[in-house]
Amino acid sequence: MSILVTGCAGFIGFNLCQNYLKSHSDLKKIYGIDNLNSYYDVNLKKNRIKILKKHSNFIFKKIDIKDKNKLSRFVQDNSIKIIIHLAAQAGVRYSISHPKSYVDSNIIGFFNILEVSRKNKIKHLIFASTSSVYGYSDKFPLSENDNTDKPVSFYAATKKSNEVMAYSYSSLYKIPCTGIRFFTVYGPYGRPDMALFKFTKSIIEDKKIELFNDGKHVRDFTYIDDVSNSIIKLITKIPSYKIPYNIYNIGNSKPEKLKSFLNEIEKNLGKKSRIISKKLQKGDVYKTHANIDKLVKRIDFKPVVKIKTGIKKFIEWYIDYYKIK
């Protein structure tokens, strides 16, 4: 069965494709598309694609999901039956200054994905959402049944829109849809705008780190392999309800303060950071903590990689990738 991964040059998309190709050697083809935009280092994205192209059964095409005609032709020409939609404009803080980018990619782009799914009778659409949809909450851990009507960032608002749009298409056109709310994913080949990458880079280069809220806010850091392996297991778990729609949290369910996360990076680098303290930024929440009971029940999900191990693996990758001496 032909699978399409959108955003395959992105952090999660790349790791998903890599793990899927390694674990499914009998797979005929996995198709990947990405627009290779400049939100962060394009060379990092291109290098991810180079690695994926080493697999003979991986096919890449540069396509922007905003281009409905190219997207539609590609899906049709390659008889795609499963779409794993990870392409998006990411980043809470960037959405404050560049909201239109989020409308273009996360609303219009996602509408195009839904339309292509409808017209090509896609058997399963898996799409990325985010823990940010929960907004401010004082009830933890966060469950899929909790209210998500008050997102505090525009990024979260567009992702909540995706969930509602997908639900309506599942209801109207019986397209099986599975949404995934990611909780602070980290690991090798990560995004340069995320804390782990930024902190590591700044400490190595002896630059000051902007630490918001004195690092007291709490995140449910989830290692990339735990995330990608969960998505792979969900591919065959196609919703078959009257309205064929489901949504899951994917998190480690062991939240940590950002300051503790930073301390672990310092230990691995053998070097202390230089900190500039700042107030919590607009759009950020104080805490995330995933209730993963639903995912455990569905795919027997068990987060494997602990934070100490995950940070160590990232720093080893970073030093090797950037040839740090």
Summarised one tens digit per residue, pLDDT across range 140-149 is 999 999 999 9
Q: Is pLDDT above 90 for 282?
A: no
Of 310, 304, 225, 303, which is closest to residue 261 (Cα–Cα)? Answer: 310
Q: Return the sign of the alpha-carbon dihedral for residues 249, 175, 74, 56.
A: positive
* DSSP per position, 267-314: HHHT---EEEEEPPPTT--SB--B--HHHHHHH-------HHHHHHHH
**155 catalytically annotated:** yes
- Write the CB contacts of 83 (distance below 8 Å, at least 6 apart in sequence): 3, 4, 6, 75, 113, 116, 117, 122, 124, 125, 126
Question: What does the pLDDT average to over 87-99?
Answer: 87
Q: Is pLDDT above 80 for 25?
A: no
| Per-residue pLDDT at 23 | 87
Residue ranges per structural domain of the chain:
2-190+222-252+287-304
Neighbour tally for 100: CB within 10 Å? 10
| Per-residue pLDDT at 316 | 97
pLDDT tens by residue, 230-242 = 999 999 999 999 9
Q: What class does CATH assign to 2-190+222-252+287-304?
A: alpha beta
CA 7 to chain CA centroid, nearest Å: 10
273 touches 210 (CB < 8 A) = no
| Per-residue pLDDT at 77 | 96
| Per-residue pLDDT at 93 | 79
255 touches 291 (CB < 8 A) = no
Residue located via tokens 């999660």: 12
pLDDT band, residue 117 (cuts 50/70/90): very high
Lowest mean pLDDT among 125-129, 292-296, 321-325: 321-325
Q: How many CA atoms lie within 13 A of 95 on its CB side?
A: 24
pTM score: 0.96
pLDDT band, residue 325 (cuts 50/70/90): confident
**31, 40, 155, 186: which one is catalytic?**
155
Terminal-to-terminal C-alpha distance of the chain: 45
Neighbour tally for 324: CB within 10 Å? 13
